[in-house]
Amino acid sequence: MGSYIPHTVQDREAMLRVIGRKSTRDLFAEIPKEALYTGGTALPSGLSELEVARAMQEIAAQNTVFKSVFRGAGAYRHYIPAAVKRITANETFLTAYTPYQAEISQGILQSIFEYQTMICELTGMDASNASMYDGASAAAEAARMCASRDRAIVYVAEGAHPHVIETIRTYCFGYDYTVKTVPLANGTLDAGALKTMLAEEGMRVVCLYLQQPNFFGQIEDIKTAADMLHEAGALLVAGCNPIALGILESPGVLGADIATGEGQPLGLPLGFGGPYLGFMACKAALMRKLPGRIVGETTDHEGRRAFALTLQAREQHIRREKALSNVCSNEALCALTAAAYLSVMGADGLAEAARQCHAKAVYAAKRIAEIPGFELKYTGNFFHEFVTACPNAAKTLAILEKEGVLGGLPLSELAPNESGILWCVTEMNSKADIDALCDMLGGIARSVKGGV
């Protein structure tokens, strides 16, 4: 923040003179004295830079940093090129806020426009907003975006992330929508069950939310689901892993009407849960229902390329009594990070990262499944996550942690009716890491007769 200059005492005194006040307390003269807090702040005395650095190092030392990570379940450890961090650390971007004044916000507006363009290219959609708060809220906003006067049922595939399902339920409760889950068959959407449900109540269905890949790592058949929904007059919302889109067919091409997802894999560190980024894009027919901000490209009075916020009538602060959404901001710095990541990686780099994720996951799944007690739960295709059985997940993961390895997620933590471990492999996991994990799992299995 090299250009940041705080107000001095003289600055404050000059401003007070201009507005006719003797002190800052005079600014609160209209507030009853009994309502004013007059006590001290009880803050400790200041520390030197060296003392602060030492204190922060002591706090940071309490963190457990695993040398190897095999857990995902919605937040993923990917390699972030150094250029991404350097670009987004520029104070011009770090200190930018809402670009309402287009004439002085061309830089941040262009960065958002480029982000929108890349999201559209990635998802195969026609329009993208400037981003949502996270993937779960984007999915819930998409359900509301599909609103129809005579339809009030939202379908959610049981293979969606449990947190996303609960977020959709929360939003739909406020809209007085009914949320129904569509069951799975061998880890993916049960097309037969969906067909039966649509035959019974298809005329009242708003949309289906289908995650790709799903929470269990399985690849869903988006095209078949989209065709079934469209025949019933409903829409399909695809929840996407953006890295997987480096090699999978885009949801737009497969017939999805809206694409949403968690943008954290696009250059954002795990960061203890945030801040993250929700991306959201749709077909042209739904563009005017897209919540949040959209940056458009235009020309100024001299014919030069320019950018401006557009289609804001849906926002909370404008015509809010008619708004379909109350979102009024966006994750601009996170969106910029995603745009920088996609730019640095390029189409080939993103595809290579996706290929490495998939290839290493296939290798890991084969090795782990050979260990007694760790058989694969599902037989379908997967991207970089898969589920295996595990007779004693708690003990297994505890042993791995002692060796500096964060194992997969015990499914019972998020899905009480599920068992086993959800493993995740990304380009960050080397073959040596995978082999070492399998050796440890094999040792654990052998340590107790008949398994863990």
Cβ(154)–Cβ(168) below 8 Å: yes
Give per-residue pLDDT as tens, 234-270: 999 999 999 999 999 999 999 999 999 999 999 999 9
Q: How far apart are CA 93 and CA 331, in angstroms?
A: 12
* Nearest in space to 292 (alpha carbons), one of 318, 258, 321, 266: 318
pLDDT in the model for residue 40: 76
Alpha-helix runs per DSSP H in 222-314: 222-231
The pair of three-digit structure tokens given for residue 28, joined into one six-digit string: 């609160």
Q: Which CATH class is domain 82-341?
A: alpha beta
DSSP 264: T
For residues 175 and 148, what is the distance between their CA atoms, to the nearest angstrom?
11
pLDDT for 310 equals: 84
In whole angstroms, give the CA distance from residue 363 to residue 373: 18
pLDDT for 104 equals 85
Q: Contact 298/308 with Cβ under 8 angstroms? A: yes
Cβ proximity of 369 and 362 under 8 Å: no
Q: What is the pTM of this model?
A: 0.88
- Count of CB atoms within 10 A of residue 188's CB? 23
Looking at residue 2, what is its pLDDT? Answer: 47
Residue ranges, CATH 3.90.1150.10, the chain: 68-78+346-447
Say what the pLDDT of residue 440 is: 96
Instruction: Tell me the two tokens of residue 381.
Output: 């295709």
| From-to residues of CATH 3.40.640.10 in the chain | 82-341
The pair of structure tokens assigned to 66 is: 């695993």
In this prediction, residue 60 carries a pLDDT of 92
C-alpha distance across the termini of the chain, in Å: 54
CATH of 68-78+346-447, one of 3.90.1150.10, 2.30.30.240, 3.40.50.970, 3.40.50.1970: 3.90.1150.10
Those residues of the chain that have pLDDT short of 70 are 1-5, 312-322, 448-452
Tokens standing for residue 225? 């689901």
| Residue 46: predicted pLDDT | 86
Distances (CA, A) of 257 to 60, 228, 384: 44, 13, 25
CB–CB of 70/429 below 8 Å? yes
DSSP line for 152-212: -EEEEETTS-HHHHHHHHHHHHHHT-EEEEEPEETTEE-HHHHHHHHHHHGGGEEEEEEEE
Residue with the two structure tokens 């654990």: 444
